[in-house]
């Protein structure tokens, strides 16, 4: 590859929502290439095209086969990459679009939520050596049976981090339609604070709780391969938020609040808990909260599309009912799971404004409250204020971080 510095970028769907934005992303790639960088760029599907394809499938069948759903939903990224390659070439630089399989992204055979097995970027390296900007379809890979698979909602983030790891890098830039990571969703919490830096564990907890800026699996991959992620705006050259390893001792600090407008709660009967969890595990899905109610089992399966859950549970002969009027609000911070007073305070704050909590779950860094869907936004604002997050200032990135980011 020579001495030219190599970058891995990823552009999200809203950054590519129309041809004007797609061309702007292509021009940004061209500028980086002309500044002396080699560049691999992972692209999502344009705008809401994946949702539109998904809706088409469900207009034809209440339970489309997951293999065919993958074959359909993976098309959006192909379109983005081919169009971006055309735009780059029109600007005078060489570019090539590669599908996930062509780029060497290998997965297991779990359709809808495939697990990454390996990335073998031989073709990517060859094209870089030939002077091309390499555009890789996010979200998709190749199963051992030779079928296209998808990596779950937001899977292009994981594709980008995995590609960076395979190329031996320790940084990956994620360009999105928001300028940074915030202490809460600023569309819901107007006084949410912009964070200059955040630890990988805290970002993982925020993402797992619904912060849509980054897929949780991407953060897990970053932690496993020591990759710093820079989340930044695709519309400006400003520095965003660095997600990086942070050496801490037993501190207690609330970082942010995340929410899900809709957190599916499933009620399952007719099968044991072991059978249910095994069926889900075979499709790469993990159970979140579990509550027994006589012969019924209530559970959540965070981050997994409902069709995949319904399909998995049906294989063991169980009956499953979906309760979809609930949402969730989570408070994230180092050591919060070891501070029962923080959970008690949150419950008191919610109770004070008449919000009833249906279910509480916790990890060492996150406490999640399941509430009525129409109360989610109100709960997020209340907890954000209660823990003083509107006053907390983010940690500024070191000068080495700022210097290494490319406009």
Rounded CA gap, 9 and 106, in Å? 20
Concatenated DSSP letters of 74-97: THHHHHHHHHHHHHHHHTT--EEE
Q: Is 11 annotated in some ligand binding site?
A: yes
Rounded CA gap, 79 and 84, in Å? 8
DSSP E strands, 93-236:
95-98, 105-107, 116-119, 133-137, 140-142, 148-150, 171-176, 181-182, 194-195, 197-199, 228-233
Between strands 197-199 and 241-244, the pairing is parallel
Q: Is 77 annotated in some ligand binding site?
A: yes
Q: What angle do CA 177, 121, 2 make, to 5 degrees?
A: 90
Q: Is 12 annotated in some ligand binding site?
A: yes
Task: Report the candidate in 72, 81, 87, 125 with the shortest Cα–Cα distance to residue 99.
Answer: 81
Angle of helix 75-90 relative to helix 49-60, nearest 10 degrees?
150
240 in Cβ contact with 179 (< 8 Å): yes
* Token pair recorded at residue 73: 């939903």
Q: Is 122 annotated in some ligand binding site?
A: no
> What 8-state DSSP symbol labels residue 304?
S
Residues near 94 by Cβ (< 8 Å), separated by ≥ 6? 88, 130, 131, 132, 133
Residues near 53 by Cβ (< 8 Å), separated by ≥ 6? 72, 73, 75, 76
Between strands 290-293 and 253-260, the pairing is unpaired
* CA 318 to chain centroid: 30
Angle of helix 75-90 relative to helix 66-73, nearest 10 degrees?
10
Q: Is 41 annotated in some ligand binding site?
A: no
Q: Is 108 annotated in some ligand binding site?
A: no
Q: Is 176 annotated in some ligand binding site?
A: yes
3-state secondary structure at position 147? coil
Residue set of the binding site: 10-13, 50, 77, 176-177, 187
Annotated binding site for ATP: 10-13, 176-177, 187
Annotated binding site for substrate: 50, 77
């Amino acid at each position: 590859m020579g001495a030219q510095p190599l970058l891995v970028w990823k552009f999200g769907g809203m950054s590519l929502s129309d041809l004007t934005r797609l061309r702007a992303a292509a021009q940004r790639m061209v500028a980086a290439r002309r500044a002396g960088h080699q560049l691999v760029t992972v692209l999502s599907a344009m705008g809401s095209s994946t949702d539109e394809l998904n809706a088409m499938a469900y207009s034809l069948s209440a339970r489309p086969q997951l293999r065919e759903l993958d074959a359909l939903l993976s098309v959006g990224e192909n379109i983005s990459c081919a169009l971006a390659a055309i735009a780059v070439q029109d600007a005078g630089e060489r570019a090539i679009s590669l599908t996930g399989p062509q780029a060497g992204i290998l997965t297991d055979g779990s359709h809808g939520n495939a697990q990454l097995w390996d990335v073998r970027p031989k073709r990517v390296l060859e094209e870089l050596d030939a002077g091309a900007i390499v555009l890789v379809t996010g979200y998709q890979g190749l199963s051992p049976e030779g079928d296209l698979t998808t990596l779950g909602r937001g899977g292009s983030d994981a594709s980008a981090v995995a590609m960076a790891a395979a190329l031996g890098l320790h940084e990956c830039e994620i360009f999105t339609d928001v300028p940074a990571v915030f202490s809460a969703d600023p569309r819901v919490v107007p006084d949410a604070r912009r964070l200059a830096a955040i630890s990988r564990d805290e970002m993982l907890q925020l993402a797992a709780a619904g912060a849509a800026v980054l897929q949780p699996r991407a953060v897990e991959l970053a932690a496993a391969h020591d990759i710093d992620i820079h989340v930044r705006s695709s519309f400006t050259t400003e520095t965003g938020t660095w997600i990086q390893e942070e050496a801490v001792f037993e501190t207690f600090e609330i970082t942010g609040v995340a929410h899900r407008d809709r957190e599916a709660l499933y009620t399952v009967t007719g099968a044991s808990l072991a059978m249910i969890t095994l069926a889900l595990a075979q499709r790469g899905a993990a159970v979140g909260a579990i509550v027994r109610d006589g012969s019924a089992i209530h559970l959540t399966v965070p981050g997994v599309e409902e069709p995949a859950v319904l399909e998995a549970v049906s294989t063991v002969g169980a009956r499953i009912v979906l309760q979809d009027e609930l949402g969730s609000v989570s408070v994230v911070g180092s050591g919060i799971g070891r501070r029962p007073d923080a959970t008690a305070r949150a419950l008191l704050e919610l109770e004070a404004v008449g919000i009833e909590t249906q279910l509480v779950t916790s990890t060492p860094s996150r406490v999640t409250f399941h509430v009525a869907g129409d109360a989610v936004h109100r709960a997020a604002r209340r907890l954000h204020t209660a823990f003083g997050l509107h006053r907390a200032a983010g940690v500024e990135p070191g000068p080495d971080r700022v210097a290494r980011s490319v406009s």
